[in-house]
């Protein structure tokens, strides 16, 4: 399980300096118990990186004296092995995995020093997942606990900026598998000034936690009639998928926007075989958490249209007899 890669999701909207993203990385299995002190101590085992010099030996096929580009060289402190991870422009600023992860650990430590956490890394990318079950656990309408977790991502090859995000999860079964819901995040690019923006990025964590608390609670409290949920699901997923989603919706209990959201994420996690489409659809489902009141209004309107269409269909069929 340590080597299992998390799912990586794409940026969907951009702000000034900090990008706001709706979909983030998340773990699939229960995170092991640890402490923030132990996490800090483990950071010395993460690969480090530095800017190299363009040479024919390090970058085959490239002009050795090209002044616009540079290789990024990562080193594993446990083995001493090094590797060129990418050739990037000199605007790229290397940010160490340990620097990013320490900021998340310090932010988490303000709430609790006993956590569940795991790091996953290779020469190119690293991920840190942390949850605090004692501090951030909600009782869902179906009686199952939902726990909030936080993630940090960094790369040495330009494939991703520095990303922090939040996810919610429920334990699916005794083997530790999680039912995970992504809950949004923020990122900054590896360019000049990135180190200053990191402080602003992690400084928003407290606000993000409060926002997530409010969104989840509002979605749980926002009640939606079954007929309205059916109309919304049909509009959102299509007729065939709506029937499947509604079965989950009924099992979730509570007839809330939260239950509707869970029914959509469950549907696409299992029914959508194309990974890219799956991520896009789950990302769309997460929009339900942003404004539950609007979901209620829209679902009522969709139900009204559905009723009108059904009545029109009946009149047309009666006139044709």
Reported as a single tens digit per residue, the pLDDT across 205-219 is 667 667 777 777 888
* Radius of gyration for the alpha carbons in the chain, expressed in angstroms and rounded: 23
In DSSP terms, which residues pair with 72 in a beta bridge?
51, 86
Residues 233 and 136 reside in one and the same domain = no
| Domain termination site, one of 168, 190, 217 | 217
pLDDT tens for residues 265-291?
778 777 766 666 766 676 677 778 778
- Distance (Å, rounded) from C-alpha 176 to C-alpha 164? 24
Mean pLDDT value across the chain: 77
Total Cβ atoms within 10 A of residue 88: 19
Phi-psi label, residue 38: left if phi above 0, alpha if psi -120 to 50, beta otherwise: alpha
Whether 169 is covered by a domain: the verdict is yes
For 59, 64, 94, 197, the CA distances from 55, given in Å and listed in that order, are 6, 4, 19, 32
Structure tokens at 129: 């997942």
- Distance (Å, rounded) from C-alpha 230 to C-alpha 303? 8
Output DSSP code: residue 288: G
Our measurement of the distance from residue 253's CA atom to the centroid of its chain's CA atoms, rounded to an integer in Å, reads 25
Whether 3 is covered by a domain: the verdict is no
pLDDT tens for residues 215-273?
778 888 899 999 999 999 999 888 888 999 999 898 877 789 988 988 887 787 777 66
Among 94, 98, 84, residue whose Cα is nearest residue 53: 84
pLDDT at 144: 67
Whether 11 is covered by a domain: the verdict is no
Whether 178 is covered by a domain: the verdict is yes
Whether 14 is covered by a domain: the verdict is no
Output DSSP code: residue 32: P
Residues 206 and 245 reside in one and the same domain = no
pLDDT at 273: 64
Sign of the C-alpha dihedral computed for residues 73, 77, 78 and 80 taken in this order? positive
Whether 259 is covered by a domain: the verdict is yes
| Domain termination site, one of 184, 200, 217 | 217
For 50, 227, 262, 280, the CA distances from 297, given in Å and listed in that order, are 53, 13, 19, 24
Domain span at 85: 19-217
Whether 4 is covered by a domain: the verdict is no
Residues 230 and 197 reside in one and the same domain = no
Residues 256 and 200 reside in one and the same domain = no
Residues 211 and 93 reside in one and the same domain = yes
Q: How many domains is the chain partitioned into structurally?
A: 2
Q: Please count the CA atoms within 13 angstroms of the CA of 133 that sit on its side-chain side.
A: 14
| Domain termination site, one of 217, 248, 271 | 217
pLDDT at 12: 27
pLDDT at 13: 27
In DSSP terms, which residues pair with 29 in a beta bridge?
177
Residues 273 and 240 reside in one and the same domain = yes
Whether 9 is covered by a domain: the verdict is no
Structure tokens at 120: 């996953």
Residues 33 and 153 reside in one and the same domain = yes
Residues 61 and 104 reside in one and the same domain = yes
Residues 185 and 312 reside in one and the same domain = no
| Residue ranges of the chain whose pLDDT lies below 70 | 1-26, 28, 53-67, 139-144, 170-185, 204-206, 208-209, 272-276, 278-280, 282-283, 321
Residues 30 and 122 reside in one and the same domain = yes
Residues 203 and 311 reside in one and the same domain = no
The residues near 2 (Cβ < 8 Å, ≥ 6 apart) are: 118, 120
Residues 161 and 305 reside in one and the same domain = no
């Amino acid at each position: 399980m340590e080597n299992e890669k998390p799912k990586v999701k794409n940026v969907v909207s951009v702000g000034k300096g900090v990008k706001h993203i709706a979909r983030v990385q998340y773990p699939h299995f229960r995170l092991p118990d640890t402490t923030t002190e132990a996490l800090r101590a483990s950071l010395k085992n993460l690969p480090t990186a530095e800017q190299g010099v363009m040479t024919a030996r390090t970058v085959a096929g490239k002009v050795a004296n090209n002044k616009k580009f540079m290789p990024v060289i990562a080193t594993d402190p446990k083995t001493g092995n090094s590797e060129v991870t990418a050739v990037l422009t000199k605007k790229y600023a290397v940010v160490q995995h340990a620097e990013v992860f320490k900021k998340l650990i310090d932010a988490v430590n303000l709430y609790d020093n006993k956590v569940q956490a795991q790091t996953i890394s290779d020469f190119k990318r690293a991920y840190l997942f942390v949850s605090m079950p004692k501090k951030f656990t909600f009782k869902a309408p179906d009686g199952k606990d939902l726990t909030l977790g936080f993630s940090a991502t960094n790369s040495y090859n330009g494939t991703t900026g520095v990303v922090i995000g939040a996810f919610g999860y429920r334990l699916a079964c005794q083997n530790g598998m999680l039912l995970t819901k992504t809950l949004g995040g923020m990122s900054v690019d590896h360019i000049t000034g990135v180190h200053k923006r990191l402080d602003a990025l992690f400084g928003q964590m407290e606000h993000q936690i409060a926002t997530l608390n409010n969104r989840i609670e509002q979605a749980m409290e926002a009640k939606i009639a079954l007929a309205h949920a059916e109309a919304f699901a049909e509009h959102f997923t299509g007729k065939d998928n709506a029937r499947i989603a509604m079965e989950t919706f009924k099992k979730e209990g509570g007839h809330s926007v939260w239950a509707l959201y869970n029914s959509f994420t469950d549907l696409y996690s299992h029914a959508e075989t194309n990974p890219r489409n799956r991520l896009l659809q789950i990302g769309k489902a997460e929009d339900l958490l942003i404004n539950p009141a609007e979901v209620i209004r829209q679902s009522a309107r969709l139900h009204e249209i559905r009723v009108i269409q059904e009545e029109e269909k009946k009149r047309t069929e009666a006139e044709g007899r």
